Chains A and B, each alone.
Chain A
Amino acid sequence: MIAGLVNFFGDKRFAKLRWRLLQMVLVLIVIADVLMPRPHAQYFWQAIPGYSAIFGFISCVAIIFISKFIGHSGGIMRDEDYYD
């Protein structure tokens, strides 16, 4: 069972199915999040429908590109034999 589950995430044959499943899950989560009552909302952005989804997406993109930019342009990433 475990092998089957892991195989589902690895095998190329299920790529299309995985992608469709992900889209479905994303839509369901956003709908659930928008419908969820927020009696204790503290910040203005919590009123924006699906703000968490937007925040997660933008955060991830920002982390990837800002980090790679710092790594390449900031001289942080060096050859593996730098210290040898």
Chain B
Amino acid sequence: MTEWLHPALLMLLGALVLPLLGGVWQKVTSVLVPLLALISVAQITPGSAGQIHFAGVDLVLFQADQLSLLFAWVFAIMAVIGNIYAWHLDDTGQRVSAFLYIGSAFGVVFAGDWFTLLVAWEVMAFASAHLIFASANRAAVAAGFRYLMVHVAGGVLLFGGIILHGLQTGSYLIGPLDHGQGGLAYNLILISFMLNAAVPPLSAWLTDAYPEATVTGAVFLSAFTTKTAVYVLIRNYPGAEVLIGFGVAMALYGVVFAVLENDCRRLLGYHIISQVGYMVAAVGMGTEMALNGAASHAFAHILYKGLLFMGAGAVILMTGRRKLTELGGLYRSMPITVFLYMIGALAISAFPLFSGFVSKSMILSAAAGDHRAGVVLLLTVASSGTFLHTGLKLPYYMFFGKDCGLRPPEPPLNMLLAMGLAALFCIGIGLFPQLLYAQLPYPVDYHPYSDAHVTESLALLMFTLLAFVLFLKYLDPEKTISLDTDWFYRRGAGLFMWLARHPVQIWEHWLITLGDGAGLRLMQHLSRLSLRIDTRLIDAAVNGVAATALRLGHLLRQLQTGIVSHYALVMIAGVIALLGWPIYVAMGTP
């Protein structure tokens, strides 16, 4: 139960108050409210609250267990860090939308029924879209609309799935979807979750939109949407085997596309997909250790990925450039940014003593324990790729490599502070994994720093470094963009517009000219006919009626004498006739 305010409610209230404040008070509030949310999460103990019976459906607005608390913890931590990173902003709109976004993410992890989840899910989509629109350039607005379109479609699938599920089971309470496995409801909800988790081919929205978001907005985006999807997958689809294949495929897919990428934040976006692949595969395995691994990897991932996006964002803010081909040599003037970024890079690469090591190795050990050798091998290949890109390629071309000639200063102090906090968590979790393990949904008996595990990981990573050094020139970024599955709706939209501009417009034009030509002649002919009917028939009838009335009036006037006794006689005759007629009838029918 909670003796404190629901963290989602706290963020919502904060979002209402923020616009009323200005200047430094708004900044203070933007960090204070997430801190209160953190305290609120610390007060929550497992249980449920807010049971409502509404329109024949049982709703549970708030339900907490170990799993939801774990995600709430990291969401609250990231909310504090992200708002410190955005301290320098003077943009109330972005602050408010970030608050609503974080609040609705809390809403999802604490939702006890499907409708509460759906509402929070939709608010997340719209609030987060503002963080893309706020870039206020043509590319960002277009990407924002595509983002919104994809997520609204996902929301419709989720809604349909929820209704079907409710009709089939009679319950709208959240829990593992064992009933109707493989049925329509099961699949609709699964697809909508996979869309938010950015599982290919439903992943292009992420790498399309995140690089267009504002510098601070992308930090929030990297943390919440895909990870709430991982949360709902753990909660509702543990052991759904189909997820193993998808998870492994997306881990490798992100790695392949990251090789081709030139935009620094798009490259990081591909590595969100790759990392979420580990979690999705772990959910598919469904063993206690695998689910622990998925949850702990999500926790670690939010912090190191936030740190990486903050580092790339600092470069974009200070240089105004985002393409690797236009960057390089920045280490001379931004050493602290380089240092903090590299802590995130070592964490995502799963170097021993960093956070990724203690969480990712748990997933790999779970796969090995589940006798899935292929999964272990392929995910290990992806681990090598992770270090290659986020740990080597990106920092090399962004900070080292060919000197682009720019000497930007370090970013504002608040950004460095936020990055420093995230870096502390990356190292802290790596050094004291038991602190994280104690919060996991199932009991943990796992020791990441045992056996040959440390040396094997180091060998894998350092020989990846050797290959990078030897084949560096083949990795040079190129001035290209990569086609992804968003091609279908971006080009599809072109096809749609072509259809609108050509066949549809021709048809419309034909209809209009039809009116001008044969159609118009027909209309004229018809109106002439109607005119003739009007003059010859209707007018004649009207005139005839009028003439008759006139004649009758004339006749009546001649009947009137003007003598009262005549009128009285007529009246009496009338009365007699009126009374006499029924009497005559009555007498005539004995």
Contact = CB atoms under 8 A, between A and B. Distances in A.
14 contacts: A7-B331, A29-B458, A36-B456, A39-B451, A52-B463, A57-B463, A59-B380, A59-B384, A60-B384, A60-B385, A60-B463, A60-B467, A68-B260, A77-B483
Contact of A52 (B256, B257, B459, B475): B459
Nearest to A31: B455
Interface string A9-24: 1100000000100100
Interface string A35-73: 011111011001000101111110111111111101100
Contact of A6 (B257, B331, B483): B331
Given A7-B331, A10-B399, A80-B479, A56 B462 contact: yes
A76 B257 CA distance: 9
A79 B478 CA distance: 10
Interface residues of B, number: 49
B381 A52 contact: no
Contacts of B469: 19, 22
Contact of B471 (A32, A61, A66, A79): A61
Q: Give chain B's interface secondary structure class.
A: helix
Contacts of B336: 2-3
A57 B466 contact: yes
B459 A77 contact: no
A30 B279 CA distance: 30
B455 A36 contact: yes
A78 B483 CA distance: 7
B335 interface: yes
A78 B256 CA distance: 16
Q: Give chain A's interface secondary structure class.
A: helix
Nearest to A54: B463
Contacts of B260: 67-68, 71, 76-77
B559 interface: no
B335 A2 contact: yes
A63 B255 contact: yes
A60 B382 CA distance: 9
Contact of B339 (A2, A50, A77): A2
Contact of B456 (A5, A10, A52): A52
A13 B393 CA distance: 21
Given A22-B469, A32-B458, A67-B260, 10 more contacts: A2-B335, A38-B452, A42-B368, A50-B459, A52-B455, A52-B460, A60-B384, A67-B259, A68-B474, A77-B480
Contacts of B479: 80
B380 A55 contact: yes
Contacts of A52: 455-457, 459-460, 463
B455 A33 contact: yes
A50 B480 CA distance: 38
A58 B180 CA distance: 44
Report which residue of A19, A43, A67 has the largest number of chain B beta carbons within 10 angstroms of its beta carbon.
A67
Interface of B: 255-257, 259-260, 329, 331-332, 335-336, 338-339, 368, 373, 376, 380-381, 384-385, 388, 399-400, 451-452, 455-469, 471, 474-475, 478-483, 490
A29 B465 CA distance: 13
B258 to A, nearest CB: 8
Given A10-B331, A60-B464, A67-B255, A43 B373 contact: yes
The list of the 8 closest CB pairs from A to B, nearest first, reads: A67-B259, A60-B467, A56-B460, A56-B463, A59-B384, A52-B459, A33-B455, A36-B452
Contact of A30 (B399, B400, B459): B459
A26 B459 CA distance: 7
Contacts of A42: 368
Interface of A: 2-3, 5-7, 9-10, 19, 22, 25-26, 29-30, 32-33, 36-40, 42-43, 46, 50, 52-57, 59-68, 70-71, 75-80, 82-83
B455 A29 contact: yes
A55 B480 contact: no
B357 to A, nearest CB: 14
B480 A80 contact: yes
A56 B384 contact: yes
B335 A3 contact: yes
A53 B463 contact: yes
Contact of A59 (B332, B464, B480): B464
Contact of B483 (A25, A38, A55, A76): A76
A26 B260 CA distance: 28
A80 to B, nearest CB: 5
B451 A63 contact: no
Contacts of A43: 368, 373, 376
B391 to A, nearest CB: 11
B459 A7 contact: no
A64 B472 CA distance: 9
Contacts of A10: 329, 331-332, 399-400
Nearest to B478: A77
B353 to A, nearest CB: 15
Contacts of B388: 60, 63-64
Nearest to A75: B483
A63 B385 contact: yes
Nearest to B486: A83
Contacts of A46: 452
Contact of B384 (A29, A38, A63): A63
Given A25-B462, A59-B381, A78-B481, A9 B331 contact: yes
A26 B482 contact: no
Contacts of A66: 256
A79 to B, nearest CB: 7
A65 to B, nearest CB: 7
Nearest to B452: A36
Nearest to A2: B339
B462 A63 contact: no
A23 B506 CA distance: 70
Contact of B459 (A6, A19, A33, A71): A33
A67 B460 CA distance: 20
B455 A57 contact: no
B335 A22 contact: no
Contact of A33 (B259, B338, B456, B483): B456
A26 B481 contact: no
